[in-house]
Every structure is written in C-alpha cells, then in structure tokens.
Amino acid sequence: MDIPYTVAARPDTGLNNGKIGIWLFLASEVMLFGALFASYVMLRAGATDWPPGATYLNVPLATLNTVVLISSSVTMVLAWASLVKGDFGRFRLFLGITILCGLGFLVVKFFEYSAKFHHEYFPSTNTFLAIYFTLTGLHGLHVIGGMAVNSWLWGPGSKMWKTDPAHFTNRVENAGLFWHLVDLVWIFLFPVLYLL
C-alpha cells in the first residue's frame, strides 16, 4: 500500500509529506530551546550578579566552533545540491565533510568541558554554569543526533539512491534542515553564553 505524496508534491500545498513533517518537528525544537532561553532570561533577570561569559568560558575556541558549524551547514547544502544534479560522488564528499565538521565541533566541546571540570567548574557551581552546561549539553546531543542521521544517510541509507533517487534526495534535504537548525541554535547560544 502506497502512501500518497511521500515523494511527489501534493498540488494544492505544493509540498511532500516529509518536508511538512520536518518543519513541524523543527517548530517543536524552537519551542524546546525557547524554554531554555526563557529560563536563561528569567534566571539572569533575577540574579544579583551575573558573570560575563569570558569569566569561565573560552571565547576563541567557541568562535572556532561557530565557524566549524557554519561551514558544515554550507557543505550540507552542497551535499544536497550534488544529489539534485545527480552527482553521488560529490554528495558523499560534502556529506562526509559535514560529518567531520560535526565531529570537530564535538571534539572542541570535549576539550572545553574537560577544562571546566579540571578547574572544578561544574553545573552545580553556580546558576551561570548550570544554564551553560544544560544549553550546550542539549545542543550537543542534537549535534550527535544530526551526525547519526547524516552518517546513516552517508552509509547504509544511501542504498536508496539506486532505487528511488528523488526520495533519497528529499531525505537528505530534510536531514539538512535539521542540521541547519542545529547551526541556527548555536548562532544564538554563542553570543548569549560566551559574549554577554
């Protein structure tokens, strides 16, 4: 039994099912991170003093991570574009770079967290560090999730390119949308936590 509009667009909405599905999911993610940002606002507004980010955090490393994530977003677009043009080889190249950038981001995060723990800066130390670890931790989980999906699409999932290239291209596009959201969240996390 075939579900209609899995790949083809429904004429009146102009969309296929997966595209709507992923955007609905992203909307829910915006509300999830929104709640944590709202918590940041409420806690900071109610605090007598709030440390500048640089007191505890490494701005150069985070700037590097920002560049890494932005780059991975571009390579994600290029991976999708390669599929649209039928170039499976370049798709694998660009998606591979995207995954490696994600890995790089996580490695930097690992060094950041280790340094904190080494200095005995834990989530329990103060409210700033609590929200820092929670926000970046949840974001980090999303990076891992995105990398898992991308790795599956790079590896076993890519078998679909041979049987249903349009469907596979859409899947990569949707995974890309998720990955861009991960980048977008970081674009706000970086200044809020590190620079303000």
Q: Which of residues 158-177 bind another protein (CB under 8 A)?
A: 162-166, 169, 176-177
# residues contacting another protein (CB under 8 A): 82
Closer of 39 and 151 to another protein (Cβ):
39
Cβ of residue 102: shortest distance to another protein, in angstroms?
Answer: 15
Cβ of residue 61: shortest distance to another protein, in angstroms?
Answer: 12
Cβ of residue 89: shortest distance to another protein, in angstroms?
Answer: 15
- Tell me how far apart the alpha carbons of residues 21 and 26 are, in angstroms, rounded to a whole number: 9
Q: Which of 117, 145, 152, 187 binds another protein (CB under 8 A)?
A: 187
- Tell me how far apart the alpha carbons of residues 116 and 28 are, in angstroms, rounded to a whole number: 31
CB proximity list for 163: less than 8 A, separation 6 or greater = none
Q: Which of residues 53-72 bind another protein (CB under 8 A)?
A: 59, 63, 66-67, 70-71
DSSP count for the chain of H helices, then E strands? 6, 0
Cβ of residue 55: shortest distance to another protein, in angstroms?
Answer: 13
Site membership for another protein, residue 196 (CB under 8 A)? yes
- Tell me how far apart the alpha carbons of residues 108 and 140 are, in angstroms, rounded to a whole number: 11
- Tell me how far apart the alpha carbons of residues 56 and 116 are, in angstroms, rounded to a whole number: 8
Q: Which of residues 85-144 bind another protein (CB under 8 A)?
A: 85-86, 122-127, 130-131, 133-134, 138
Cβ of residue 92: shortest distance to another protein, in angstroms?
Answer: 17
Output the DSSP codes for 171-186: HHHHHHHHHHHHHHHH
Q: Which of 51, 145, 155, 191 binds another protein (CB under 8 A)?
A: 191
Residue matched to tokens 């991308």: 150
Q: Which of residues 15-34 bind another protein (CB under 8 A)?
A: 15-17, 19-21, 23-25, 27-34
- What dihedral angle (degrees, nearest 10) is formed by the CA atoms of 98, 101, 102, 105? -160
CA angle, residues 52, 30, 168, in degrees to nearest 5:
125
